[in-house]
Amino acid sequence: MPKRRSASTGLSRRDFLKAAGMATAAAGAGTQEILFPALVRAQEPIRIGQLIPFTGFLGAIGEYGKQGATLAVEELNARGGVLDRKLELITEDEANPGVAVQKARKLIERDKVVAIEGLVSSASCLAVGDEAQRARILTINAGANSDEIRSKRCHRYVFNTEGCNTQYVSAVGSWLIKARKVTSWYFITSDYAFGHDLLRVARNLLTSHKGTEVGSDLVPTGTADFSQYITKMKQARPELIFHNLAGADVTNFLKQYAESGMRTEVAGGVIDAAFAWPVGESLRGSFPIIWWHEINNPASKAWAERYTKRWGRPPDNQAYGDYTAVHAIAQAIEKAKSTDSARLVQALEGHTLTAPMEGLKGRPLTFRAWDHQLLQPMYVVQAKDKSKWKDKWDIFEVISESPPRGESLETIAIPKSESQCVLEPIA
């Protein structure tokens, strides 16, 4: 009579029971994994680390990112997990670059995660990227925008589901100049890595369209009072106020700008729904966003409904980024048939996201092999008048998808000829 084999380990039933008995007997000596590693590995979950801010001026994003990643893990586990193993999410507060690196080391060395995802602060992401490369652990940036992360500070073990500043500015800037025909801009910018990089990209775009910069201010993160900057804007008389702000600074600035009575058009290089919702009926302006819960395609709507049912509110764009990142990690594991980071990196290079996730945008999304940026469309959204809201979440209407359907997603990304990315060897 042929021996029966275990589906999870490939062992015969007789060998399975024999090895299990040996492992139990050896438990006191701590030698289970040595005697029967295949069984132990099959029982252990696949651990994914998440670094996301819960404190500081970016803190409001954290809970959305955690919820997006948690929902992805729950849905994947409901379908049987990955390689017949359940997934486990271990979340830490990225806080600041120093803390983020410490937490990354903890996830890698103590928690034994197979990959890390998350991050929002560009400064933290740059620091963690260096650490991930040193440790050779797959890391997916789901929230940091600086071009530098994909250019001169790119790494072989770091991928990006979040869009870069060039993608965001290309989407909204071209629309502002071509459709709105505003070419006299005043910049207000967060004084850290993200803001500096976004200002550089926005200036380059304005100059390329022969526009004029009529003023510029750098502001510390966590600024509570923007009145001095708004006074300078009034005096400069631009056609457009273009903000390169992040986090709670966006909320405070947009509220105070509306209260000042200024009617000059306002726009931004990036917007997070989590920081736009609190502005409420004072919200005005046009912004680029990576994802919005009312994007009109079936997969996107279905996911927004599942998220809302699970958490009691619509997902913001950070929830989308972390949800996407977890699915990308799961797809890499399935494709590589392994949790080894080097094999996961190779599996993702040039990989197009597949079902059941597929990017939720109704078109194929692919990681570029040479800089690990996910190529994807952006959406230009415009603030709605409160009279048109269905509920307090209904603050934007999508007015443009960039690039349009039928055009290459490369058109809004960093051109290879302008990138300084040189990826390290795999090992």
Give percent above pLDDT 90 in the chain. Answer: 88
36 contacts 79 by C-beta, under 8 angstroms: no
The verdict on 57 and 156 lying in the same domain is: yes
Is 424 inside any structural domain? no
Give the range of the structural domain holding residue 24, as residue numbers without chain letter. 13-43
131 and 20: one domain?
Answer: no
Closest by CA to 273, choosing from 394, 123, 141, is: 394
What average pLDDT does the structure give for the chain? 92
Task: Give a yes or no: residue 427 inside a domain.
Answer: no
Residue 24 reports pLDDT greater than 70? no
Residues 128, 221, single domain; the answer is no
* C-alpha span between 190 and 188 (Å, rounded): 7
Residue 232, domain CATH: 3.40.50.2300
Is the residue at 280 inside a domain? yes
Question: Do 320 and 242 share a domain, yes or no?
Answer: no
**135 and 145 both lie in a single domain:** yes
Number of domains in the chain: 3
- pLDDT bin (cut points 50, 70, 90) of residue 33 is very low
**422 within domain boundaries:** no
Residue 83: inside a domain, yes or no?
Answer: yes
- In this structure, the answer to whether residues 257 and 197 fall within a common structural domain is yes
Looking at residue 29, its pLDDT comes to: 40
User: In the chain, what are the helix, strand and coil shares in percent, each to the nearest 5?
Assistant: 45, 20, 35
For residue 38, the model assigns a pLDDT of 54
Stretch among 21-35, 103-117, 152-166, 278-292 having the lowest mean pLDDT: 21-35
Examine residue 423 and state whether it is found in any structural domain, yes or no: no
Helix axes 298-311, 62-78, angle to 10 degrees: 110
Angstrom distance (rounded) from CA 37 to CA 327: 27
- Considering the domain architecture, whether residues 135 and 185 belong to the same structural domain is answered as no
Spatial distance between the Cα atoms of 199 and 195, rounded to a whole number of angstroms:
6
Tell me: do 155 and 239 sit in the same domain.
Answer: no
In a domain, 2, yes or no: no
pTM: 0.89
Q: Which pLDDT does position 23 carry in this prediction?
A: 45
- Report which of 218, 222, 263, 269 is spatially closest to residue 243, judged by C-alpha positions: 269
Segment 313-327, tens digit of pLDDT = 999 999 999 999 999
CA distance 291 to 53: 20
> Residue type at 301?
K
Within this chain, do residues 271 and 388 fall inside the same structural domain, yes or no? yes
Q: Which residue, 362, 377, 392, sits at the end of a domain?
A: 377
Q: Are residues 284 and 148 in the same domain?
A: no
Residues 240 and 308 placed together within one structural domain of the fold = no
Q: 148 lies in a domain?
A: yes
> Tell me, what DSSP letter sits at residue 138?
E
Residues 57 and 145 placed together within one structural domain of the fold: yes
pLDDT tens digits for range 57-84: 999 999 999 999 999 999 999 999 999 9
